[in-house]
């Protein structure tokens, strides 16, 4: 029997029921309670604007929302559902661990693509984080790719069904005939496979720091008959030659790295792109485009949801960073799934 169906492990019925409950509770909370809090802040912001007063500061938003019952319930449910989701998924995958790990480790007899792991790779200190409060973060727990494959869909409470978030980034790569495309921080394959789907003639490469995620992406691609070239590398300094890629893409990598690493990754993308090559950063919405409530509630990700670099990323000026690195033709746009895309070309 196949280990994966549509890129996910089929959960046993009791696990599936619990996970569906968590997903629906998250979606319900966002659609009802969180929107009510947001509307209250928005109303005050509009009154102030109409009265010619300065925009709401973060502390003022905090003073408005924190005493409310809705905010407390919303945050309580957000945190609890997150913990419940990871715990239940780890339990579910642990029960299937022998089968899952045997599949992950078993070499593909005649692979179409390649997988190159580097056990000597130095893992940067900033990566030693339990991202999204996942136990073990991205690289320490062998079952993590299986947990993430289901968790990434549940976590986004409907927004990433059928990998919609990730596809929304892949689909903004301009049409063209490309020799080589690279996905930085390709994870378990949800952002890179849609790229290969769109550009089947191109050689598609993916790098990530996390070996378990790369192993999963490799097996998933091979089980679908897709050739990807995956390697364990730090996107800040890769082993690719200068002027090698036509396109370098990244999907929700940048909010998981601190400012200095972000500058390094941009410089590296510049180095490995061919002249005229296209670079894109698909990530969370910059704070300057968020309303006061969403700016404030985004900060909660930094404080309570295992996203230590979220605020830094939200405050980053990607167009300025790209310009400083030498990129030109810099553009910004939302993706259809609500991510934010900054793109540029190497002259």
Closest contact distance (angstroms) between CB of 285 and ligand SAM is 15
Q: Treating both helix axes as pointing N-terminal to C-terminal, what angle do 97-105 and 211-223 enclose, rounded to 10 degrees?
A: 80
Cβ–Cβ under 8 Å, residues 217 and 188: yes
CA separation, residue 304 to residues 76, 79, 132, 234 (Å): 11, 8, 9, 26
Question: Which of 185, 194, 212, 286 is in the footprint of ligand SAM by CB under 6 A?
Answer: 185
3-state secondary structure of 159: coil
Question: Which of 64, 65, 153, 253 is in the footprint of ligand SAM by CB under 6 A?
Answer: 253
User: How many alpha carbons lie under 13 Å from residue 235 in its C-beta half-sphere?
Assistant: 32
- Segment interacting with ligand SAM, rule: CB under 6 A, options 12-20, 50-58, 87-95, 205-213: 205-213
Closest contact distance (angstroms) between CB of 197 and ligand SAM is 14
d(C-alpha 17, C-alpha 11), whole Å: 9
In 38-186, beta strands by DSSP E: 114-116, 180-184
d(C-alpha 343, C-alpha 269), whole Å: 12
Closest contact distance (angstroms) between CB of 160 and ligand SAM is 9
d(C-alpha 92, C-alpha 80), whole Å: 18
| Per-position x/- string for 77-116, each x denoting binding to ligand SAM as judged by CB under 6 A, each - no binding | ----------------------------------------
- Segment interacting with ligand SAM, rule: CB under 6 A, options 74-82, 112-120, 201-209, 313-321: 201-209
Which CB atom, from 74 or from 236, has the smaller least distance to ligand SAM? 236
Q: Is 209 in the site for ligand SAM (CB under 6 A)?
A: yes
| Interactions with ligand SAM, residue window 135-174 (CB under 6 A) | 138, 166
Cβ–Cβ under 8 Å, residues 330 and 344: yes
Closest contact distance (angstroms) between CB of 336 and ligand SAM is 15
Question: Which of 100, 235, 339, 344 is in the footprint of ligand SAM by CB under 6 A?
Answer: 235
Chain positions contacting ligand SAM, by CB under 6 A: 127, 138, 166, 185-187, 190-191, 207-210, 213, 234-236, 251-253, 256-257, 261
């Amino acid at each position: 029997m196949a280990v994966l169906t549509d890129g996910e492990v089929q959960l046993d019925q009791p696990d599936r029921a619990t996970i569906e409950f968590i997903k629906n509770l998250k979606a319900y909370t966002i659609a009802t309670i969180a929107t009510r809090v947001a509307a209250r802040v928005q109303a005050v912001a509009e009154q102030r604007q109409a009265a010619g007063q300065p925009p709401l500061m973060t502390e003022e938003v905090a003073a408005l929302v924190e005493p409310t019952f809705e905010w407390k319930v919303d945050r309580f449910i957000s945190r609890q559902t997150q913990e419940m989701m990871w715990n239940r998924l780890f339990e579910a995958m642990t029960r299937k661990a022998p089968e899952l790990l045997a599949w992950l480790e078993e070499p593909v007899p005649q692979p179409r693509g390649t997988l190159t792991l580097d056990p000597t790779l130095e893992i940067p200190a900033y990566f030693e984080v339990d991202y999204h409060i996942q136990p073990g973060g991205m690289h320490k727990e062998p079952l993590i790719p299986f947990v993430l494959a289901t968790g990434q869909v549940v976590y986004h409470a409907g927004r990433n069904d059928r990998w919609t978030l990730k596809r929304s980034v892949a689909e903004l790569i301009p049409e063209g005939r490309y020799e080589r495309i690279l996905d930085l921080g390709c994870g378990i394959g949800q952002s890179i496979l849609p790229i290969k789907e769109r550009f089947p003639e191109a050689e598609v490469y993916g790098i990530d720091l996390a070996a378990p995620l790369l192993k999963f992406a490799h097996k998933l691609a091979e089980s679908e008959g897709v050739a990807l070239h995956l390697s364990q590398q730090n996107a800040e300094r890769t082993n690719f030659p200068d002027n090698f890629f036509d396109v370098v893409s990244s999907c929700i990598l940048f909010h998981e790295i601190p400012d200095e690493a972000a500058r390094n990754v941009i410089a590296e993308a510049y180095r490995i792109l061919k002249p005229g090559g296209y670079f894109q950063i698909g990530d969370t919405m910059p704070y300057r485009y968020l309303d006061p409530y969403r700016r404030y509630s985004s900060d909660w990700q930094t404080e309570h949801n295992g996203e230590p670099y979220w605020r830094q990323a939200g405050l980053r000026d990607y167009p300025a960073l790209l310009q400083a690195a030498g990129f030109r033709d810099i553009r910004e746009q939302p993706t259809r799934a609500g991510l934010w895309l900054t793109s540029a070309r190497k002259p």
